[in-house]
Structure 1
Amino acid sequence: MWPRFLSSAYPMERHYFLVPKFALSLIGFYPEQKRSWPLRAWSFINFFILTYGCYAEAHYGIRQIPTNIALALDALCPVASSILSLLKMLAIWWYQDEFKWLIQRVRKLTEQQRSARKLGYKRRFYTLATRLTTLLLCCGFCTSTSYSVRHLLDNMLRRAHGKDWIYETPFKMIFPDALLRLPLYPLIYMLVHWHGYITVVCFVGADGFFLGFCFYLTVLLHSLRDDVCDLLALGEHEPLPTAQQEARIVRRMERLVDRHNEIAELTARLSGVMVEITLGHFVTSSLIIGTSVVDMLLFSGVGIIVYVVYTCAVGTEIFLYCLGGTYIMDACLELSRSTFGSHWHGHSVRVQKMTLLMIARAQRVLIIKIPFFSPSLETLTSILRFTGSLIALAKSVI
């Protein structure tokens, strides 16, 4: 049975960035939070834990490369995600004012769409965004938890066979020996475990922002398409519009053109704040997925389950980026096709020129512009193909 917040009956205004808000609020990085001193201190503590965790994991993995490649990959695979989450945390903090403005502006624009059809678009895309980001949160939570479960099960099996408990952290990290002994060991263990959850909420928050903005902009594009087609519609037996009617249509068309321009501006501003996050994700996605699959082949027992879940989480991340970009591009092309298929040719020359201008603008599809990549399902296919090549290469070398 679905939780209530995943159902379409859940209030739409509460769906708006529901999961990213929950995730980033846990660590004090949601842009709309009031920046009080206790919140600043809590966010700094989480930043420090994540930063040291990235250093400790990377140090441990690099030291193990000459002696034990399997152990090295076991440390370096999650550290890639941790470093990427650190990048996302820094980007959200650096652009927090811009994120806040975008959240509030897109919210205001979507709240203005109130017809029955538009409410249907909102319900569909708002619910879909919540469900997909919840799926990502569950995959990340299961991945982080599985590392701790694996470590605990391994030690329980060792104790059952009369062997000593290995005082290691769930994620392979370098720590001073004094911290890996009683009585400090349980505290360090909990901090490392929390480090895994910080990694999860960072990528859920950033990826949820990307997917949410893409879906909400798609709602605005669909609403704009309906308004344009309704404005230009002419009945079969209706007389041609009078000069006065055409003047009203021109004024309304000007407002629709302004709305289209604002959607394009919002997409450009979103590209500006998401460029580092999206570029880093696309550059490292093949490496992370490939490394996790290689680890899956090297380990056995619980270790396989850990990396199956990890591969699902990383695959879900990159899929959401490509899905969001595809929805925006399809909405732009649909706006262009629907506008061209309307009765624009039955209006005055002024209206015809404005319509052709909108068609030309819509054909230049809106994309989240990042260097070398364009988030789309075609890009996802290329990434998976390259990942397969990396896996085949790694299998031939190891």
Structure 2
Amino acid sequence: MLPRFLTASYPMERHYFMVPKFALSLIGFYPEQKRTVLVKLWSFCNFCILTYGCYAEAYYGIHYIPINIATALDALCPVASSILSLIKMVAIWWYRDELSSLIQRVRFLTEQQKSKRKLGYKKRFYTLATRLTFLLLCCGFCTSTSYSVRHLMDNILRTAHGKDWIYETPFKMIFPDALLRLPLYPITYILVHWHGYITVVCFVGADGFFLGFCLYFTVLLHCLQDDVVDLLEVENMEMSLSEADEIRIVREMENLVDRHNEIAELTERLSGVMVEITLAHFVTSSLIIGTSVVDILLFSGLGIIVYVVYTCAVGVEIFLYCLGGSHIMEACSNLARCTFSSHWYGHSVRVQKMALLMVARAQRVLTIKIPFFSPSLETLTSILRFTGSLIALAKSVI
């Protein structure tokens, strides 16, 4: 049985950024969250924990490269995701006002679409956004938890064979000796474990924003497509429309053009907010997935399970970016095709020009613009192909 919020019967308006809101509110970074003193202190505390965790993991991995490459990769693989999550946390805080404005504006625009067919679009894409971001949350939660489970199981097996407990943290980190001895060790362990969950909720929040905005823009484009086709519909091509009808159609067509321009403007604003996050993610995605697969080849037992789950989480993460970009591009192409296939030629010259202008604008598909990359399923294929090359190179070296 699925949780109720993953089913189609769940209230549609409650789907709106539900998972990103839940994730980022846990650490005090949701843009619409009320910034009380306690929330500010809690968010600063989480920022410090994540920042120090990135430093400690990176230092540990670099220190062990000449000593033991497998141990070094065990630290460097998760630190890449931790650093990415730190970038996402900082970006979300820096652009919090712009994100809040975008959330409110897109909510207002989507709430205006109330016809039965438009509600069908909203239910489909709202539910899809919730299910996919929840899948990412589950993968991330399982990944972070598996690190702690692996460490506990290893030590339980050691004590069962009469060996001493190894006072290490779930994620390989450098700490002062005093923090890795009793009585402070349990506190250190809990903070490191929470560091893993902070990493998870940061990328769930940022990636959920990206996917959510992409799918909500797709809803707006589908609704715009229906309105254009319905407006330009001519029941009888042999009868000319009255002057009053043509004036009404021109006025409504101007509103539709303005809506299309606003969707394009919102996409540009989202590109400005998400450029650092998306660029960092696409640049490092092949390296992270490749390192995870190499770790799978190097480890055995519980170590394999940990990195299988980790690889799935990273794969889902990059898939969401590419899927969101593809949905927007397909919606733009459908808008151009359906507008051109409508009865635009049965109207006045002014309406014809406006319709063809919209076709030309829609053919320039909207994308989340980042340097060197354009999020799409084709880009995902290229990333996976390059990842395979990195894995083959690493195998030949190791």
Q: TM-score, normalised by structure 1?
A: 1.00
- Residues 39-96 of structure 1: CA deviation (Å, up to 9, x unaligned): 0000000000000000000000000000100000000000000000000000000000
Partner of 1:90: 90
Instruction: Give the letter aligned to residue 106 of structure 1.
Output: V
Deviation at 1:372, TM superposition (A): 0.1
Contact 2:282 2:318 in 1 (8 A): yes
Partner of 2:100: 100
Partner of 1:326: 326
Deviation at 1:238, TM superposition (A): 6.4
- Residues 73-121 of structure 1: CA deviation (Å, up to 9, x unaligned): 0000000000000000000000000000000000000000000000000
Q: Quote the sequence identity (%).
A: 82
- Residues 9-35 of structure 1: CA deviation (Å, up to 9, x unaligned): 111110000000000000000000011
Q: Which runs of 5+ in 1 are unaligned?
A: none
Instruction: Give the letter aligned to residue 233 of structure 1.
Output: E
1:17 equivalent to 2:1? Answer no
2:29 is paired with a residue whose SS is coil
Name the CA shift for 1:186/1:44 in 2 (closer, same or farther; >3 Å): same
Q: d(CA) in 2 for partners of 1:275 and 1:266?
A: 14
Partner of 2:138: 138
1:314 equivalent to 2:314? Answer yes
Q: d(CA) in 2 for partners of 1:12 and 1:197?
A: 28
Q: d(CA) in 1 for partners of 2:129 and 2:321?
A: 12
Matches within 5 A, 1:300-311: 300-311=300-311
Deviation at 1:351, TM superposition (A): 0.1
Partner of 2:122: 122
Matched pairs, number: 398
Instruction: Give the letter aligned to residue 49 of structure 1.
Output: I
- Residues 217-273 of structure 1: CA deviation (Å, up to 9, x unaligned): 000000000000000001146622111110000000000000000000000000000
1:29 is paired with a residue whose SS is coil
Instruction: Give the letter aligned to residue 379 of structure 1.
Output: T
Partner of 2:397: 397
Q: d(CA) in 1 for partners of 2:211 and 2:155?
A: 40
Partner of 2:298: 298
Q: d(CA) in 2 for partners of 1:99 and 1:115?
A: 28
Q: d(CA) in 1 for partners of 2:146 and 2:349?
A: 65
CA RMSD of aligned residues (A): 0.6
Q: Which runs of 5+ in 2 are unaligned?
A: none
Partner of 1:248: 248
1:254 is paired with a residue whose SS is helix
Partner of 1:64: 64
Partner of 2:227: 227
Instruction: Give the letter aligned to residue 30 of structure 1.
Output: Y
Partner of 1:43: 43
Instruction: Give the letter aligned to residue 32 of structure 2.
Output: E
1:339 equivalent to 2:339? Answer yes
Partner of 2:172: 172
Q: d(CA) in 2 for partners of 1:170 and 1:84?
A: 19
1:31 is paired with a residue whose SS is coil
Partner of 2:75: 75
Q: d(CA) in 2 for partners of 1:301 and 1:238?
A: 76
1:383 equivalent to 2:383? Answer yes
Contact 2:237 2:346 in 1 (8 A): no
Partner of 1:192: 192
Q: d(CA) in 1 for partners of 2:7 and 2:69?
A: 46
Partner of 1:277: 277
Q: d(CA) in 2 for partners of 1:140 and 1:134?
A: 10
Q: TM-score, normalised by structure 2?
A: 1.00
Q: d(CA) in 2 for partners of 1:127 and 1:63?
A: 45
Q: d(CA) in 1 for partners of 2:257 and 2:92?
A: 31
Q: d(CA) in 2 for partners of 1:153 and 1:265?
A: 52
Q: d(CA) in 1 for partners of 2:336 and 2:45?
A: 49
Matches within 5 A, 1:155-166: 155-166=155-166
